Chain A
Amino acid sequence: MSTAITAPAAVAANTPYERSAGFWTGVLRKLARDPVAIGAAIVLLLLVAMALFAPLLTPHDPYQASMLKRLKPIGFENYLLGTDELGRDMLSRLMVGARLSLFMGITPVLIAFVIGSGIGILAGYAGGLVNTLIMRTIDVLYAFPSVLLAIALSGALGAGIGNALLSLTIVFIPPIARVAESVTTQVRSRDYVEAARASGAEAFTIVRVHVLGNVLGPIFVYSTSLIAVSMILASGLSFLGLGVKPPEPEWGLMLNTLRTAIYTQPWVAALPGLMIFITSISFNLLSDSLRSAMDVKN
């Protein structure tokens, strides 16, 4: 199973690219020629822009409830996407909800990228006993299916944004650390690392100058493929009542509170899930394109 995960990273690590701007310019040029990548990037940029400027864009107050206007259909009066179970404007809530949903999906992967890379590079470069200790501990966390691990941790820690972020970060550290370790182990045995060591460079210098530049790319690409999973899991935790608490708008939580409305206003009730779907598929497509653009073999 580990080979299946590390294979693309290994390919990228083997390619003897320069750490000059040339490689990344090439990757960007390839991405720019990929219509799928451009489409996904545009959708994601629009979502981020919507999240950032949500307070300026919302047509109604996302917290303003109205007993008379509960569960109105799409296009009701000036409520473009209808209203939710408390009569709040769906469009405004979906817009403001993008903030927490994107934040809770992306942050765990970012933090896990930093910590997981650090742990993996340390294990891969140090080797020996340090490697065994770190990687066997990682193996234990890896022995849990990711959804189960996330729910176990946030179930024990209790509901809340901080606990959900912490749980998801812990879920994503082991896979990232594994990839980082395997890529670093390969780079470590390269001749240029040997040469640097022979010329008297210190371990820290070797890692900073020769290892980091060659391993961060593959680890980064792998990490981007986790964002889609993280979006689904983060909203899933809120859906179960373990993440964001009401009345904050967040897509997973909105989906949960609208669950009882699927018989009366099915379209309105399905909207928050559609947002999660669009976001996660865009991240998946962009990550796939990025991986094939960085794969020099193609």
Chain B
Amino acid sequence: MIFYLLRRIVYTIPIMLGVAFFCFLLVHISPGDPLVAILPPDASAELQRQLMTLYGFDRSWPEQFFTWLWRALQGDLGTSIASGRPVAEEVFKAVGNTLMLACLATLIGFVLGSLFGFVAGYFSNSWVDRAASALSVLGVSVPHYWLGMVMVIIFSSWLAWLPATGAGPGGSDAWAWDWEHIQFMILPAITMSVIPMGIIARTVRALVADILAQEFVVGLKAKGMTDTGIFLHVVKNAAPTALAVMGLQLGYLLGGSILIETVFSWPGTGFLLNSAIFQRDLPLLQGTILVLAMFFVLLNLLVDVVQTTIDPRIQRS
């Protein structure tokens, strides 16, 4: 197993290089010159050349890639064209906010999804099962940016229970774990949790129905084990897969939060990407995508490693 884990880790390196190369290419597939965005219309040729050298656009492709990669490895993701601040600084601040939201959403999705999945799997083919299945189809089919708007209409506009947008008084810099601020997280987190909830409910339902149909469950029943005891056996058997799905869903939420963050004006990576796109701030776009994609690759690795370690049934060599 140690050998498998090592190979899995080594295998991640070319993937990461590929991901980095893709992010590097993003700047080059975009039409127009990113320099134009920062140059004043009456810029002299001298100023233009200076900026070219500063951003490194005058060197050859491979040279640019390896310089860029080397800098990125040292935590230097370049300078934002729009704000003039280091990209890494802006991205890491935003990643924290997105991570906070995505973790809460995954937690809600996991708890509710497991609950629905368990009930549906235990009473498979009953009305409870059909209701839970319908709910999970709804969860994966709903355009979540629209669901966010509907949540705002219901809970902010009509009932006035929760605030609609932003991250609380003082913006993201003044974040604190008190009700003043936490209430701003609730609507976006619930909206975001709908997709993992649907997917986890589906997975857990299939797992539970599958486990209950196995012979060892009949054996346990015949042995006179209580329902609670059997329930614990089912949980133990279903947990590794369910946790793995949860881990992957967290990754999808991190990368896919842009639409929900836009609806709720949440100051995370989605907000950053949005402004990067509209100001044609390519270093910022590139840096944000790179960090999010690397997060996803590492999370995949982590899920695989943890699952192999905790699940004795997985024999990987």
B259 interface residue per 8 A CB criterion: yes
Per a CB cutoff under 8 Å, which of A145, A255, A281 touches B255? A145
User: Are A152 and B285 in contact, CB atoms less than 8 angstroms apart?
Assistant: yes
| Cβ distance B80 to chain A, nearest Cβ, rounded Å | 15
Could you tell me if B255 and A156 are in contact, using CB atoms closer than 8 angstroms? no
Cβ–Cβ < 8 Å partners of B289 in chain A: 148, 152
Q: CB distance A273 to B149 under 8 Å?
A: yes
Whether A270 and B27, one on each chain, are in contact in the complex, defined by CB atoms closer than 8 angstroms, is: no
Instruction: Report the nearest B residue to A159, measured CB to CB.
Output: B277
Inter-subunit contact A269/B18 (CB<8 Å): no
Known: A240-B274, A281-B137. A143 touches B293 (CB 8 A): yes
Residue among A148, A262, A276, A280 making CB contact with B256, cutoff 8 Å: A148
A129 within 8 Å of B (CB atoms)? no
Cβ-defined contact, A276 with B293, below 8 A: no
Interface positions, chain B 125-160, Cβ under 8 Å from A, are 137-138, 140-147, 149-150, 152-153, 157-158
A136 within 8 A of B: yes
Q: Which residues of A contact B27 (CB under 8 A)?
A: 156
Kindly state the separation between the CA atoms of A270 and B296 in the bound complex, as whole angstroms.
Answer: 32
CA distance A136 to B15 in the complex (A): 8
Residues of A within 8 A of B152 (CB): 262
| Docked-complex contact A147 and B273, CB < 8 angstroms | no
Q: Is the CB of B18 within 8 A of A140?
A: yes
Task: Give the residue name and chain of the A residue nearest to B18 (CB).
Answer: A140
Chain A nearest CB, measured from B63 CB (Å): 21
Residues of A within 8 A of B21 (CB): 140
For residue B200, CB closer than 8 A to chain A, the reply is: no
Stretch at the interface among A11-19, A56-64, A79-87, A228-236: A228-236
Asked, given contacts A151-B258, A266-B153, whether A273 binds B293 with beta carbons under 8 Å apart, the answer is no
Distance in Å: Cβ of A210 to nearest Cβ of chain B: 33
Q: State whether A277 touches B254 (Cβ < 8 A).
A: no
Which range contains the number of B residues in contact with the other chain?
A: 35 or more
Q: Known contacts being A143-B297, A148-B289, is A270 close to B146, with CB within 8 Å?
A: yes
Residues of A within 8 A of B150 (CB): 270, 273
- Interface contact A277-B142, CB-CB below 8 Å: yes
Q: Output the nearest chain B residue to A144 by Cβ-Cβ distance.
A: B293
CB proximity to B under 8 Å, residues A153-193: 153, 155-158
Closest to A255 in B: B146
Contact A263 B157 (CB under 8 A): yes
**Is B285's CB under 8 angstroms from A270's CB?**
no
Question: Does chain A have a CB within 8 A of B282?
Answer: yes
- Main secondary structure on A side of the interface with B: helix
A45 contacts the other chain (Cβ, under 8 Å)? no
Instruction: Report chain A residues within 8 Å CB of B262.
Output: 239-240
CB nearest to B141 among chain A residues: A281
Q: Are A158 and B31 in contact (CB under 8 A)?
A: yes
* Contact A148 to B255, CB < 8 A, known contacts A139-B18, A143-B300: yes
Interface: A127 (CB within 8 A): no
- Contact assessment for B254 and A145 in the assembled complex, using a CB-CB cutoff below 8 Å: yes
Which of B145-194 touch A at CB < 8 Å? Answer: 145-147, 149-150, 152-153, 157-158
Q: Which residues of B contact A147 (CB under 8 A)?
A: 252, 255-256, 258-259
Residue pair B276, A155 in contact (C-beta under 8 Å) = yes
* Chain B positions 96 through 117: 1 when the CB is less than 8 Å from some CB of chain A, otherwise 0: 0000000000000000000000
Are A240 and B259 touching (Cβ within 8 A)?
Answer: yes
One digit per residue, 1 when the CB lies within 8 angstroms of any chain A CB and 0 when it does not, for chain B 1-41 equals 00000000000001100110111001101111000000000
Tell whether B251 is near chain A: CB-to-CB under 8 Å. Answer: yes
Is A70 interfacial (CB 8 A cutoff)? no
In the bound assembly, the distance between CA atoms of A158 and B263 in angstroms comes to: 21
Cβ of A1 < 8 Å from any Cβ of B? yes
Contact A148 B153 (CB under 8 A): no
Complex contact B30–A259 (CB within 8 A): no
Question: In the bound complex, how far is the Cα of B145 from the Cα of A236, in angstroms?
Answer: 8
1/0 contact string of B72-108 vs chain A (CB within 8 Å): 0000000000000000000000000000000000000
Q: In chain A, what residue has the closest Cβ to B28?
A: A156
Given known contacts A240-B262, A241-B278, what 14 new A-B pairs fall within 8 Å (CB)? A136-B14, A137-B18, A143-B296, A144-B255, A145-B251, A155-B26, A155-B273, A156-B30, A157-B30, A158-B32, A240-B258, A277-B141, A284-B137, A284-B141
- B residues with a Cβ closer than 8 A to A are 14-15, 18-19, 21-23, 26-27, 29-32, 137-138, 140-147, 149-150, 152-153, 157-158, 244, 248, 251-252, 254-256, 258-259, 262-263, 273-274, 276-278, 282, 285, 289, 292-293, 296-297, 300
